[in-house]
């Protein structure tokens, strides 16, 4: 388990480590990992911050829970390691990119390439027990990630927040919409997408248009 937050993020999340709730959360996580199969691997829990430099941050893409199947979660929302089968939500994300930007469907579901360009792939809950979705919710992760979102909104300028689904949309209250772009739509899961709440949102082109206007390098999705 990591004891130190990734370099560059100290101002945003450093104070959380000193809070009682966070110490209790870390105690819970250690017990869970000792007693059960949990994901991602302990050294991948804070990968969203390690892969995305704070100084290069442009986009926050919020997920809810890590994938709870073996070999899927590696600390980045919606992403899977190299060679892993693409989960249905990720398939729909790639299909929307294909339609929106006329890009070829990618072979790899590893989204580290996005993170390295300044996309924070943040789950609201950073860990999960194998086969049990939402099993680590309401243990303190949400307090931590809400504060991350709030601090990014306060400390940064012209960030694009991608909020997909009702859970993510509830985070709008944490974001200053006068200084950032908030793009919200349905979740890319088959249940939502098949009801017409996902496809055609064009979030990827809208995101890049905004970044271009703000003088920032666009994301190569």
Cis peptide bond prior to 40, omega within 30° of 0: yes
**DSSP3 helix / strand / coil % (the chain, rounded to 5):** 40, 10, 45
What is the bridge-based pairing of β-strands 38-39 and 128-129?
A: antiparallel
169 contacts 184 by C-beta, under 8 angstroms: yes
- List the catalytic residues: 65
Rounded Cα–Cα distance for residues 110 and 1 (Å): 22
């Amino acid at each position: 388990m990591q004891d130190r937050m990734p370099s560059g993020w100290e101002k945003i999340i450093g104070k959380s480590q000193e809070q009682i709730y966070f110490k209790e959360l870390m105690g819970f996580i250690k017990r869970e990992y000792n007693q059960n199969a949990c994901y991602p691997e302990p050294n991948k829990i804070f990968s969203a911050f390690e892969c995305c430099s704070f100084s290069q941050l442009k986009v926050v893409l919020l997920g809810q829970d890590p994938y709870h199947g073996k070999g899927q979660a590696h600390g980045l929302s919606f992403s899977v390691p190299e060679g892993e089968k693409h989960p249905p939500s990720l398939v729909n994300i790639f299909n929307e990119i294909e339609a929106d930007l006329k890009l070829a469907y990618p072979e790899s579901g590893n989204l580290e390439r996005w993170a390295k360009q300044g996309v924070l792939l943040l789950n609201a809950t950073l860990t999960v027990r194998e086969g049990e979705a939402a099993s680590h919710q309401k243990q303190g992760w949400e307090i931590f990630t809400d504060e991350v979102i709030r601090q990014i909104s306060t400390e940064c300028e012209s960030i694009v927040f991608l909020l997909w689904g009702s859970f993510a949309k509830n985070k709008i209250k944490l974001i200053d919409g006068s200084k950032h772009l908030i793009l919200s739509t349905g979740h890319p899961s088959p249940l939502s997408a098949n009801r017409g709440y996902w496809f055609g949102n064009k979030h990827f082109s809208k995101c890049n248009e905004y970044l271009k206007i703000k003088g920032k390098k666009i994301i190569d999705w």
